Amino acid sequence: MKPRKRKSWEETALILAQVIAECRSQDPYVQVGACAVLRDNSLSLGYNGPPPGVEIDWSEREDRGARIIHAEVNALRSVAPGQCEFLAVTLLPCRHCMTFIASKAVRKVVYREVYERDTLAFELAKEFGIKLVQLRPKKAPK
């Protein structure tokens, strides 16, 4: 009997990022998840949400943004610079998160979708030497 084929670490991390977003994010507009894969293959997960003990008025879509901690920050906050092999995120990180990712010396970000409101992230990634890899879900065979 042959062993079953495993998914790549990038695909696995994106699946975990999606699951944490769906299970934990309370944001009714955009649920974002992140999975940091560390050099020893341990993982750190994060999702977008308010700081502990902070209640948000979700009806104010634009105002909520200032009160949300992004998934990338939550996934990387306890990771030492240079410890992360790559970060998988359900959405391309925003400009602020791209700067934070660079501060943690992450050299690769795998993402599923592009958040159209903030395309400066592409320029910053190039400037900071961060490789961006977009992975789309594989379509089921017909």
CA distance 118 to 7: 30
Q: What percent of the chain has pLDDT over 70?
A: 94
Number of domains, the chain: 1
Instruction: Tell me which residues of the chain have a pLDDT lower than 70.
Output: 138-142
Q: Which amino acid is at 61?
A: R
Residue 124 lies in a domain: yes
Gyration radius of the chain over CA positions: 15
Residue 47 lies in a domain: yes
Enclosing domain of residue 115: 9-134
Residue 26 lies in a domain: yes
Residue 2 lies in a domain: no
Structure token pair of residue 24: 């934990």
3-class SS of residue 96: helix
Q: What is the pTM of this model?
A: 0.91
CATH code for the domain in which residue 52 is found: 3.40.140.10
Q: What is the pLDDT of residue 44?
A: 98
Q: What is the pLDDT of residue 138?
A: 65
Q: What is the pLDDT of residue 142?
A: 52
Residue 140 lies in a domain: no
Q: What is the pLDDT of residue 139?
A: 58
Residue 77 lies in a domain: yes
CA distance 54 to 38: 30
3-class SS of residue 134: strand
